[in-house]
Amino acid sequence: MKVKTKSKKVNKAWLNDHVTDPYVKLAQKEGYRSRAAYKLKEIDEALQLIKPGQLVVDLGAAPGAWSQYVRRKFAPKEAGVGGAATGQLNGTIIALDLLDFESIDGVHFILGDFREDAVLNQLREAVGDRPVDVVISDMAPNLSGIESSDSARIAHLIELAIDFAQNHLKKEGGLVCKVFHGSGYSQLVELFRAHFRVVKPIKPKASRDKSAETFLVGIGLKNR
């Protein structure tokens, strides 16, 4: 006799939600690697952050949907579905992640852990002396379920992203970071406010209602 475990029920429910998700279907139709593209799209459309000709750094880039979205903003509209998948780019995209993924034409990818100095130095070398227009970060640690430990891991990644932005972002540049509601959230908002003149929390429609994730956007560094 087979016994249905709670985990099997949860996995089946998640799979059903995933298959019927309108953003999953839209991503498949428009050629995005994941529904996450529409989270960035909604943030960008609200704040007009990403424009052709910019230098954008994509942290936690796998599987590449955010870099795809930026690439399409940098490419001629007539060159493909929702923008160009290949061809000449008006702008520069540097992506980084622990996980490798299928290359995206024109995107400079660095494989490694953003928390490691050697990897961070690779990123700095790729950026060079060019000021960065926008840093987008969908980074998230592997969560343990222990709230205090998880919030500390999340905060560490945010702190590193802010530190990178402080050193490389244009004065009026922007930083987009994924965060999670719960322990430590208010402190992260205050951290953003300490470094940016404008801070906006955004929960995109493409972010599932059940998810605790939201995004903090900081625009205009205070120390520049």
| Residue range 18-47, pLDDT digits in tens | 557 888 999 999 999 999 999 999 999 999
Reference 106, options 91, 96, 125, 123; nearest CA is 91
| DSSP at 26 | H
According to the model, what pLDDT value does residue 76 have? 64
131 vs 60: CA distance, rounded Å: 20
Q: Which residue numbers are catalytic?
A: 178
φ/ψ of residue 87, rounded to 5: 105, -175
In the numeric block, the tokens 């509601």 are attached to 181
Q: At 150, is the pLDDT very low, low, confident or very high (cuts 50, 70, 90)?
A: confident
User: Model-level pTM?
Assistant: 0.87
φ/ψ of residue 201, rounded to 5: -85, 135
87 vs 128: CA distance, rounded Å: 24
Q: Which residues contact 97 (CB under 8 A, 6 or more apart)?
A: 59, 60, 61, 62, 109, 111
| DSSP at 78 | G
109: pLDDT strictly greater than 70: yes
Structure token digits, residue 114: 């953003």
pLDDT for 161-206, tens place per residue?
A: 999 999 999 999 999 999 998 888 999 999 999 999 999 999 999 9
According to the model, what pLDDT value does residue 4 have? 44
Rounded to a whole number, what is the largest CA-CA distance in the chain? 67
Going through 75-195 in order, the beta strands assigned E by DSSP cover 92-97, 107-111, 132-137, 169-180
> What does DSSP say about strands 132-137 and 169-180: parallel, antiparallel, or unpaired?
parallel
